[in-house]
Amino acid sequence: MNGFRLGFFIYAAVMLSNMPALVDNGGVDGPTWSGHLRGGSLSLPGEDNTRHVYVRARRIEAGETMTSRADTSTHKFPMKPESLDGKRVLLIVIPRNTLQTAYFVAGIASWTGDELQVRSSSEAAPVVAKGARVTLQGFDPALLPRLIIPRYYHQVADVAKGAVACVVIFAPTAPVGALALRAPFFGLASGKDDTVVLMQGDPGI
């Protein structure tokens, strides 16, 4: 029954169209579940692979300000890549060969016009984020408590301290020196243009 916990608190932050997306409940104890996100509904197969549970999901449209009630930020989210230039950003990297593990690094971002570079210190080599512009947009750090499971939230919050935005990407390899956490999200999906979609959950559960 552990898998069904996902269906009762998942609240999708989807910035895409109605394209189907594979979903992984990496933040839920028990067996890994996967399904499809289509038209605002999430379909998850039952334990016998025949039964399904459906939950509604709201799409966060591009340009909509995604803020929590406690957020006092004046930034409009999602932030365009060029707007991140010179600002402190939390970069979340999910390597394609280890999708269950995510890497977190924060630093000053530089936008070259083609890629976003995040340098954690003057001595460190920058972590390079590449992809379509939509994949490099920044989301509101105020959402982190609803994206990262409580077990890992404080570790991520320490890394993200002072960041004005967060960027999450799929990448070929893991960045060196970043905080590595296994299954840190309430839910994870892959969307159009290879965009990472993180599912919102209830941190009180």
118 or 51, greater pLDDT: 118
197 or 52, greater pLDDT: 197
Question: Residue 174 — very low, low, confident or very high, per pLDDT cuts 50/70/90?
Answer: very high
Q: Is the pLDDT of residue 47 over 50?
A: no
Q: Which two tokens stand for residue 85?
A: 């230039």
Start-end of H helices in the chain: 5-9, 144-147, 150-160
Digit-coded pLDDT (tens) for 4-29: 343 333 333 333 333 333 344 444 43
User: What contacts 89, CB < 8 A, 6 or more positions away?
Assistant: 106, 107, 108, 109, 116, 118, 138, 163, 164, 165, 166, 167
Q: Comparing 40-44, 48-52, 167-171, 197-201, which segment has the lowest mean pLDDT?
A: 48-52
Give the pLDDT of residue 7: 35
Give the pLDDT of residue 73: 56
Q: Rounded CA gap, 109 and 40, in Å?
A: 33
162 — alpha (psi -120 to 50), left (phi > 0) or beta? left
Radius of gyration of the chain (CA): 16
| Mean per-residue pLDDT over the chain, rounded | 75
Average pLDDT over residues 163-168: 98
Digit-coded pLDDT (tens) for 58-80: 333 333 343 333 344 578 999 99
Digit-coded pLDDT (tens) for 106-139: 999 999 999 999 999 999 999 999 999 999 999 9
Give the pLDDT of residue 96: 93
Cross-strand bridge partners of residue 88: 108
Give the pLDDT of residue 12: 36
Give the pLDDT of residue 204: 87
Instruction: Supply φ then ψ for residue 5, to 5 degrees.
Output: -60, -35
